[in-house]
Amino acid sequence: MTKPHNPKTITDERFIAQLGIISVQNRIDLTLQNQRWVSRYAIAGRKYHIQGFAADFGRPRGVDADVLTSLETLFLLQGCPADNTVTTTAHEVLQLSNIHNKGENYYRLKESLMRLWRVGFLITEAHAIPGSTWRTYFNKTLSLITEIQFWGQSGPDESSDLQALVADGKLTVQLSAPLAHSIRGGYTHLLDRQLLSQIEQPIGRGTYRVLQAHRPEEGSLSVTLADWGQACGIISREPDKIRRSLQSAHEELEANAYLEGVEFMGRGQQQEIIYHFRASDAPDRALVTLLTEQYIPRKQAEQLARAYPERVEEAVRYVQLRRQEGKVKSPGALTSDILRNPDKYNLSLPELAPARPTADLKVVSAAEEAKADAKFRDQQQVLLSQEPPQQWEASRPTLKLLIGKHVSDRAFQELQRRCETGEISATELTRELTALSTNRAALRQRLAELQLE
């Protein structure tokens, strides 16, 4: 086989993504809707009417979108072969699909390919007849994959039905003629592969794919929640269930700076969802949050985060240390000055102080260090004597700084609950994670032990 492809972007056929054939949900209950469904919705003035037929393998879902976009990408990278056939390996498809390279996933990849092969759909477009109450309808059947050839393997006592794909065995997938023709014609959009790799859950990647397909050239995307649920292939029609299904996807897309925010307007079936996309030059939201927690106005915080992204965390860390010592009257002003005039400060010292000529700098004595350590321990004892909610309130900014980039918003909220109920001591956890802050591997291991990753 040739060397595996390693593109920076993933190709996705826009029309298929807009139709919501592949559900963003990871699992779909074994009901009739898993085998046959009807979707009617409108987005940006365009109406969609699709009937899906999935037979015994069930409706495509979750990682199936990753697999399909990988095949579409390979088709384009291989020069759009005339016979519409992609030649690859299971290992390469898993790699492009952001699926871990482990044994059980080769069986799951086979299942995914079977679902994509068996699904068919009927698209209906209504045409009004002038002067008549009758309508005519144009209907067209479509499919995604025409044929698959692969090598499989199974254990000595296992049925051939349970075979998994051979990692480096030849895998050929023939795309349907309409899908291949559309890709050749350029009716595609590009997905950011790095962003896809950062989004951990299939529902987050799937929602990103659907959003990109419907994203306007400028501004926000507004659609009724009921319509959006159908566009995403969510089985339920209940607004609350749709919101819950999409919650983790929204959190990941905001945490990874694709979305600036998500709004819900109204109630019930007429409820609207509004997606605000993050501009390409927008500052890192996590850095802006750190700065606003130092009492810097949001607009100014955005300007500082955009201008000095590499300095923010260090500046905030030292300002917080000084705040714990009670030496900062205006944390916002001090943080801003450190960012704008870094030469005035020596951030390597235990205390922030205006930088002085090297000859005038004094070595901190052992006695001074011991005194500072004793003061810090006294402060910790005071915090430990407080009630859990007060401990959390005092420790939250430091914890956000230490682990904000390593955990999701939902995980941080769960940590807040555990700290406020006394299950975890926020003060002791802050002290522990501060000691691990210079060892990223140890920090992530501790977060995993706390089930926060």
- Phi, psi dihedral angles at 299 (to 5 degrees): -60, -45
Q: 95 and 212: one domain?
A: yes
Please state, as a whole number, how many other Cβ atoms lie within 10 Å of the Cβ of residue 352. 18
Q: 263 and 310: one domain?
A: no
Token couple for 333: 């002003």
Q: 195 and 108: one domain?
A: yes
pLDDT at 385: 73
Q: 447 and 325: one domain?
A: no
Q: Is residue 422 part of a domain?
A: yes
Q: Is residue 1 part of a domain?
A: no
Spell out, as residue ranges, where the chain has pLDDT lower than 70: 1-5, 158-162, 348-383, 438, 453
Domain stop point among 362, 388, 413: 362
Give the pLDDT confidence of 223-280 residue by residue, as tens digits.
Answer: 999 999 999 999 999 999 999 999 999 999 998 889 989 999 998 888 999 999 988 7
Q: Is residue 28 part of a domain?
A: yes
* Cα–Cα distances in angstroms (integers) from residue 271 to residues 207, 240, 261, in the given order: 19, 10, 17
- What is the domain count for the chain? 3
- Phi, psi dihedral angles at 294 (to 5 degrees): -95, 15
> In degrees to the nearest 10, what's the CA dihedral of 431, 437, 438, 441?
120
Distance of CA 297 to the CA centre of its chain: 28
Specify the DSSP class assigned to residue 59: -
Q: 131 and 120: one domain?
A: yes
Give 443's Cβ-side CA count (13 Å radius).
Answer: 18
Q: Is residue 70 part of a domain?
A: yes
Q: 273 and 298: one domain?
A: no
Q: Is residue 160 part of a domain?
A: no
Specify the DSSP class assigned to residue 354: B
pLDDT at 4: 59
Q: Is residue 159 part of a domain?
A: no
Q: 350 and 389: one domain?
A: no
Domain stop point among 362, 382, 406: 362
- Domain encompassing residue 334: 283-362
Q: 91 and 128: one domain?
A: yes
pLDDT at 331: 85
Q: Is residue 272 part of a domain?
A: yes
Q: 378 and 357: one domain?
A: no
Q: 235 and 316: one domain?
A: no
Q: 67 and 141: one domain?
A: yes
Relative orientation angle of helices 64-77 and 202-214, to the nearest 10 degrees: 60
Give the pLDDT confidence of 390-449 residue by residue, as tens digits.
Answer: 888 878 877 887 887 788 878 888 899 998 888 888 888 887 887 777 677 778 778 888
Token couple for 130: 């002038």
pLDDT at 394: 79
pTM of the predicted model as reported, rounded to 2 decimal places: 0.67
